[in-house]
């Protein structure tokens, strides 16, 4: 533990706060002792505590030196911002966002308002000691030269001033207030809703069901309405995720699990657009007809397309199935806003008045596919509790009196459902990697009917070094020889388990309890002893686990040796219908799943036994091996064309992302059904090919997570058909630097006359893919890509490095050309990465670079919705591109 963090640790109870502990040894300090250079990071956190303020933090000597800036930074050199010096924070605090619980130091919400690299203009430790720091910032929002100057103002804490230096980044405060103009997080979709100071929120009222909607209001005046031309396109207002309901006058609606769709009416003609501006009118003819029947002259309507399941709850999978099966008539269009109506621009009209007008318009319709999204007159906490009990997603809150804006806004918020209850602690696992004391707690619940204590999964997140120690001290006296649960895990799941007497209770937050009785996305919140363990059952009703259920699963697969490339991204992945993870082992279920036909023209059937489907592979989200198999099956229509006939290497993770990883280039000792191999003449060992779903799911069964491919195909492995430039940044660089670097790289390729395509890496970087007509050999292509990298690095040496290794990319971006040699591989598009959250490498359009906040923007949980909203595959033209490396190109990058 750093001595500089003593005060930080003294002020915090890490059993209760989600803030990172300062007990871990700072990695950067160790690096410095070894004489390794590194870029220094800074961050500014927007902190809604007793007062809303901004915490300015600079990395110096292994910790974050910190100042509280009440009004936030100003770009005006004439304005001195007071900066109160506070305790040092650990380096990993730079990425912390979350809610610090009431009653604890700094209670309130925290977001990362800005982050990046800072460069001291003199020795940082010496300047800090003198109280006069001059430095340059390279962040998402702030740039240029700044000063931090200690004052002689008396007080309990040191008073400093944060002052912008006069340079090209400076702007007068009267012209531009950066704090007001850019309020959001640079890491997530969070926006802080400042709390009302003083007063108390109403106590939540317990309710048994969704309460009655508000009484229909009288017809309201449309104050603020103005004549206005109907825009050809209109982006929707987006809601900001918050941790709790803010005070004030808010109206709450149910959060639908569907597709956001905007309806444009012009002279009676109706068009339906997705949130990204893609025309889906042809997909939703029934809904378009219903809108047309309203008889409006012109309008923009905002709503959500939804399909309900048998319980009447919105079901996103059912919605996708409705599109796939051509049953769009089953889709209900819930409307909740109306920014334009009959020649009038209503965007400045208060939301409650717009909604009253919308309700009046919808009175004209008796069509069941159009419905008004009601808001509810109830305390939000109680309403959220009811929505969660009904297994809905959560709530959308809208601030009364707010206008309609085409961006993410703090006036619209979303509250998501979280379940939380006590579980009996029945065991724990051994720690892995850098973890100490224990890995995860095994949980149990009593069956409400039989009283049997049954295994309910594990919780491995929510602990820090302090809680690991205090919890472990309470576990060791309770060790038992046998499991207290009647259905203990077996095989790999039981490896390294220490059983306990069923005495302790753990309070755990989680997303759901599966039909098999295991928690998903579990997070530990503390131990408690105020209830008898015998009384702990599942608090919300759910189907009981089937007796004798197997710990194994069969996945029905339909495989095609020549998968078809999707013509348009707007089609949801049809392969999802061809194969699903089956954990029942039921022949009847297997027949039902096999009946669904895949998108591929040539079909063969097969079975893959998926063992231990409930094994958690990502403790941060609770994602399981079955979730991974389901993802690869659903994405197969997109993924298989990327794998087709390309040698593939696997990254296997038998113990999940936190365990040891194995990079495997050949199929030796891997009995993967459906896998194909080629001879040893190229690499000395047979290479693998994954050309069908059977092999894809078989690879998952063998614990494969990542799929890496060659830059050549089996028909001609002597000549590559592409090269890839992997932009790999210093991790502390802001995403804005990554965007600029990618644009510069694209500009160089454009200047050379080479068409290129982009994809996110699923990690920190971007991959630039340049297709080639197979002609040059591997050495020639690698040499050419190396020359491009050296050319770019020579043009901008302060931004790029052409030499690999962390020490060569300090504050810069290494453009990795080494992936272009014979046998070298790159992560495949649509492959999962072995990182927290299971991000996915995803093809993107150039303009999307400016829209996303990182190369890990998509993961196995949200990439399908992205694909469903696309009109066209961003890589639709990649295989059609014909281009060669010419003598002129070689000459321009310095090759003979």
The Cα–Cα gap between 574 and 565 comes to 12
In this predicted structure, which of 131-145, 316-330, 741-755 has the lowest mean pLDDT?
316-330
Which helix (DSSP H) or strand (DSSP E) does residue 101 occupy?
A: none
| pLDDT one-digit tens code per residue, 352-403 | 999 999 999 999 888 889 999 999 877 888 888 778 777 787 899 999 999 9
Structure tokens given for 212: 């009655």
State the pLDDT at residue 195.
59
Q: Output the CATH code of domain 420-535.
A: 2.40.50.140
In this predicted structure, which of 89-98, 244-253, 782-791, 836-845 has the lowest mean pLDDT?
244-253
Block residue for tokens 């009593």 = 446
Average pLDDT, the chain: 83
Domain ranges of the chain: 3-181, 236-416, 420-535, 552-707, 722-829+875-892
- Both ends of the chain: CA-CA distance in Å? 56
State the pLDDT at residue 37.
62
Q: State the pLDDT confidence band at 668, using cuts at 50, 70 and 90.
A: low
Pairing of the two strands 238-241 and 408-416: parallel
The Cα–Cα gap between 653 and 433 comes to 13
Q: Is the pLDDT of residue 804 over 50?
A: yes
State the pLDDT at residue 377.
73
Q: Tell me the percentage of the chain whose pLDDT exceeds 70.
A: 84
Helices (H), 624-728: 625-634, 636-643, 693-701
Q: At what angle do helices 625-634 and 636-643 cross, to 10 degrees?
A: 80
Contact (Cβ atoms closer than 8 angstroms) between residue 100 and residue 19: yes
State the pLDDT at residue 201.
36
Query: Of 498, 481, 488, 491, whose CA–CA distance to 437 is shortest?
Result: 498
The Cα–Cα gap between 237 and 254 comes to 16
| DSSP notation for 192-256 | --PPPSSS-PPPPPP-SSPPPBPPPPPPPP-TT-EE-PPPS--PPPEEEE-SSPPSSSEEEEEPP
Q: State the pLDDT confidence band at 756, using cuts at 50, 70 and 90.
A: very high
Contact (Cβ atoms closer than 8 angstroms) between residue 732 and residue 596: no
Contact (Cβ atoms closer than 8 angstroms) between residue 806 and residue 818: no
Catalytic residue chosen out of the listed positions 46, 164, 255, 593: 255
State the pLDDT at residue 590.
30
State the pLDDT at residue 599.
30
Q: State the pLDDT confidence band at 23, using cuts at 50, 70 and 90.
A: low
State the pLDDT at residue 604.
31
At 160, is the secondary structure helix, strand, or coil?
strand
CB burial class (10 A; 0-12, 13-18, 19+) of residue 837? middle
Q: Is the pLDDT of residue 883 over 60?
A: yes
At 537, is the secondary structure helix, strand, or coil?
coil
State the pLDDT at residue 607.
60
| pLDDT one-digit tens code per residue, 305-319 | 998 876 677 776 677
Q: State the pLDDT confidence band at 825, using cuts at 50, 70 and 90.
A: very high
Block residue for tokens 């040539």 = 602
- The mean pLDDT value for 776-785 works out to 96
State the pLDDT at residue 2.
55
In this predicted structure, which of 82-96, 123-137, 159-173, 414-428 has the lowest mean pLDDT?
414-428
Q: State the pLDDT confidence band at 72, using cuts at 50, 70 and 90.
A: very high
Q: Is the pLDDT of residue 562 over 50?
A: no
The Cα–Cα gap between 617 and 735 comes to 28
More confident residue, 576 or 703: 703
Q: Distances in Å between the alpha carbon of 724 and those of 97, 109, 728, 781? A: 34, 41, 12, 10
State the pLDDT at residue 622.
85
Contacts of 747 (CB under 8 A, 6+ apart): none
Q: State the pLDDT confidence band at 780, using cuts at 50, 70 and 90.
A: very high
Block residue for tokens 């309130």 = 108
- The mean pLDDT value for 727-732 works out to 92
Q: State the pLDDT confidence band at 783, using cuts at 50, 70 and 90.
A: very high
State the pLDDT at residue 643.
96
- The mean pLDDT value for 636-657 works out to 94
Query: Of 520, 589, 578, whose CA–CA distance to 554 is shortest?
Result: 589
Q: Is the pLDDT of residue 298 over 50?
A: yes
The Cα–Cα gap between 267 and 254 comes to 32
Helix, strand, coil content of the chain in percent (nearest 5): 20, 30, 50
Q: Is the pLDDT of residue 433 over 90?
A: no
Q: State the pLDDT confidence band at 581, using cuts at 50, 70 and 90.
A: very low
Q: State the pLDDT confidence band at 336, using cuts at 50, 70 and 90.
A: very high
State the pLDDT at residue 711.
97
Query: Of 65, 68, 66, whose CA–CA distance to 46 is shortest?
Result: 68
State the pLDDT at residue 193.
66
Block residue for tokens 């990690």 = 763
Is 255 noted as a catalytic residue in this protein? Answer: yes
At 325, is the secondary structure helix, strand, or coil?
coil
In this predicted structure, which of 93-102, 568-577, 605-614, 792-801 has the lowest mean pLDDT?
568-577
State the pLDDT at residue 530.
56
Contacts of 775 (CB under 8 A, 6+ apart): 719, 884, 885
State the pLDDT at residue 589.
32
**CB atoms inside a 10 Å sphere around CB 595:** 9
Q: State the pLDDT confidence band at 216, using cuts at 50, 70 and 90.
A: very low
More confident residue, 892 or 38: 892
State the pLDDT at residue 199.
41
Q: Distances in Å between the alpha carbon of 234 and those of 263, 281, 334, 855? A: 10, 15, 18, 27
DSSP summary character for residue 322? H
Q: State the pLDDT confidence band at 346, using cuts at 50, 70 and 90.
A: very high
State the pLDDT at residue 529.
63
In this predicted structure, which of 197-211, 328-342, 476-490 has the lowest mean pLDDT?
197-211
Q: Is the pLDDT of residue 457 over 90?
A: yes
| pLDDT one-digit tens code per residue, 172-190 | 999 999 999 999 899 887 7
The winner for highest mean pLDDT among 405-414, 463-472, 483-492, 752-761 is 752-761
Q: State the pLDDT confidence band at 539, using cuts at 50, 70 and 90.
A: confident
Q: State the pLDDT confidence band at 752, using cuts at 50, 70 and 90.
A: very high
Q: State the pLDDT confidence band at 669, using cuts at 50, 70 and 90.
A: low
Q: Is the pLDDT of residue 879 over 70?
A: yes
Fold of 722-829+875-892: DNA primase, PRIM domain (3.90.920)
Contact (Cβ atoms closer than 8 angstroms) between residue 44 and residue 142: yes
The winner for highest mean pLDDT among 326-340, 504-518, 743-757 is 743-757
In this predicted structure, which of 674-683, 732-741, 767-776 has the lowest mean pLDDT?
674-683
Fold of 236-416: D-amino Acid Aminotransferase; Chain A, domain 1 (3.30.470)
State the pLDDT at residue 316.
66
Q: Is the pLDDT of residue 323 over 80?
A: no
The Cα–Cα gap between 502 and 485 comes to 9
**CB atoms inside a 10 Å sphere around CB 664:** 18
Q: Is the pLDDT of residue 135 over 90?
A: yes
Q: Is the pLDDT of residue 101 over 90?
A: no
Q: Is the pLDDT of residue 677 over 90?
A: no
Query: Of 869, 862, 761, whose CA–CA distance to 815 is shortest?
Result: 761
| DSSP notation for 462-522 | S--HHHHHHHHHHHGGGB-SS-SSSS---GGGGTTEEEB-TT-EEEEEESEE-TTS-EES-
Q: Is the pLDDT of residue 304 over 90?
A: yes
- The mean pLDDT value for 486-496 works out to 84
The Cα–Cα gap between 799 and 95 comes to 23
Q: Is the pLDDT of residue 559 over 80?
A: no
Query: Of 894, 793, 827, 868, whose CA–CA distance to 321 is shortest?
Result: 868
């Amino acid at each position: 533990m750093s001595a500089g963090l003593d005060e930080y640790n003294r002020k915090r109870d890490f059993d209760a706060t989600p803030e990172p502990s300062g007990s871990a040894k700072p990695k950067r300090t160790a690096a410095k002792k070894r004489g390794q250079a590194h870029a220094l990071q800074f961050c500014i956190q927007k902190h809604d505590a007793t007062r809303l303020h901004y915490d300015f933090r600079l990395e110096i000597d292994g910790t974050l030196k910190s100042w509280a800036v009440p009004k936030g930074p100003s770009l005006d050199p004439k304005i001195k911002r007071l900066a109160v010096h506070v305790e040092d924070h650990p380096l990993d605090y730079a990425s912390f966002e979350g809610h610090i619980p009431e009653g604890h130091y700094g209670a309130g919400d925290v977001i990362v308002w800005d982050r990046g690299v800072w460069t001291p203009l003199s020795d940082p430790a010496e300047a800090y000691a003198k109280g006069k720091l001059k430095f340059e910032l390279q962040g998402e929002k702030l740039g240029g030269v700044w000063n931090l100057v200690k004052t002689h103002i008396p007080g309990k804490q040191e008073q400093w001033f944060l002052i912008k230096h006069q340079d090209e980044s400076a702007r007068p405060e009267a012209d531009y207030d950066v704090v007001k103009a850019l309020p959001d997080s640079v890491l997530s979709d969070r926006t802080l809703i400042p709390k009302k100071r003083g007063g108390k929120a109403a106590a939540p009222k317990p309710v048994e069901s969704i309460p009655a909607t508000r009484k229909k209001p009288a017809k309201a005046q449309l104050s603020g309405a103005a004549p206005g031309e109907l825009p050809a396109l209109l982006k929707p207002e987006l809601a900001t995720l918050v941790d709790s309901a803010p005070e004030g006058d808010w109206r709450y609606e149910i959060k639908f699990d569907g597709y956001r769709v905007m309806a444009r009416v012009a002279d009676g003609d109706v068009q339906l657009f997705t949130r990204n501006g893609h025309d889906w009118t042809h997909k939703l003819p029934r809904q378009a007809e219903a809108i047309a029947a309203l008889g409006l002259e012109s309008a923009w309507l905002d709503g959500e397309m939804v399909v309900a399941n048998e319980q009447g709850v919105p079901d996103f999978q059912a919605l996708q199935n409705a599109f796939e099966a051509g049953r769009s008539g089953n889709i209900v269009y819930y409307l909740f806003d109306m920014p334009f109506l009959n020649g009038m621009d209503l965007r400045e009209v208060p939301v409650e008045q717009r909604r009253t007008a919308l309700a009046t318009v919808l009175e004209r319709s008796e069509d069941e596919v159009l419905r008004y999204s009601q808001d509810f007159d109830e305390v939000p906490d109680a309403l959220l509790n009811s929505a969660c009990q009904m297994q809905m997603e959560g709530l959308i809150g809208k601030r009364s009196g707010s206008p309609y804006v085409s961006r993410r806004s703090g006036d619209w918020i979303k509250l998501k459902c979280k379940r939380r209850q006590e579980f009996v602690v029945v065991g724990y696992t051994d720690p892995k990697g850098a973890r100490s004391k224990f890995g995860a707690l095994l949980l149990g619940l009593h069956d409400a009917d039989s009283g049997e204590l049954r295994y309910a999964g594990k919780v491995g997140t929510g602990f820090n070094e302090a809680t690991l120690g205090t919890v472990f001290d309470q576990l060791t006296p309770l060790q038992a020889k046998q499991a207290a649960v009647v259905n203990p895990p077996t095989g790999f799941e039981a490896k390294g388990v220490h059983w306990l007497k069923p005495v302790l209770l753990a309070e755990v937050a989680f997303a759901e309890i599966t039909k098999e009785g295991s928690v998903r996305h579990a997070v530990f919140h503390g131990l408690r002893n105020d209830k008898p363990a015998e009384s702990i059952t599942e608090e919300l009703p759910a189907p009981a686990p089937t007796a004798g259920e197997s710990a194994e699963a069969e996945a029905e697969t339909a495989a095609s040796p020549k998968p078809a490339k999707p013509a348009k991204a707007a089609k949801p992945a049809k392969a999802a219908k061809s194969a699903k993870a089956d954990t029942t082992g039921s022949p009847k279920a297997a027949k039902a799943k096999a009946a669904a036909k895949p998108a591929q023209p040539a079909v063969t059937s097969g079975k893959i036994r998926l063992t231990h489907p409930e094994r958690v592979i990502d403790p941060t989200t609770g994602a399981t091996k079955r979730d991974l198999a389901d993802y690869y099956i659903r994405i197969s229509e997109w993924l298989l064309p990327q794998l087709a006939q390309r040698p593939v290497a696997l990254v296997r993770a038998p113990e999940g992302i936190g365990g040891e990883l194995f990079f495997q280039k050949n199929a030796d000792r891997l009995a993967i059904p459906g896998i194909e191999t080629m001879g040893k003449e190229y690499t000395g060992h047979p290479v693998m090919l994954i050309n069908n779903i059977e092999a894809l799911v078989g690879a998952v069964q063998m614990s494969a997570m990542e799929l890496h491919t060659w830059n050549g195909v089996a028909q001609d492995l002597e000549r590559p058909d592409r090269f890839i430039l992997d932009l790999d940044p210093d991790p502390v660089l802001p995403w804005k630097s990554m965007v600029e670097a990618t644009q510069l790289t694209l500009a160089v390729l454009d200047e050379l006359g080479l068409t290129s395509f982009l994809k996110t890496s699923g990690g920190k970087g971007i991959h630039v893919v340049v297709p080639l007509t197979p002609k040059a050999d591997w050495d020639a292509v690698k040499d050419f890509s190396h020359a491009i990298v050296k050319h770019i690095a020579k043009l901008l040496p302060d931004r790029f490095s052409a030499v690999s290794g962390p020490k060569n990319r300090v504050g810069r971006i290494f453009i990795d050309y080494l992936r272009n040699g014979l046998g070298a591989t790159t992560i495949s598009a649509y492959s999962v990465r072995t990182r927290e959250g299971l991000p996915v490498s995803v093809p993107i359009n150039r303009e999307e670079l400016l829209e996303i906040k990182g190369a890990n923007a998509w993961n196995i949980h949200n990439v399908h919705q992205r694909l469903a909203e696309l009109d066209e595959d961003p890589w639709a033209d990649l295989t059609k591109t014909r281009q060669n490396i010419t003598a002129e190109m070689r000459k321009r990058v310095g090759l003979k």
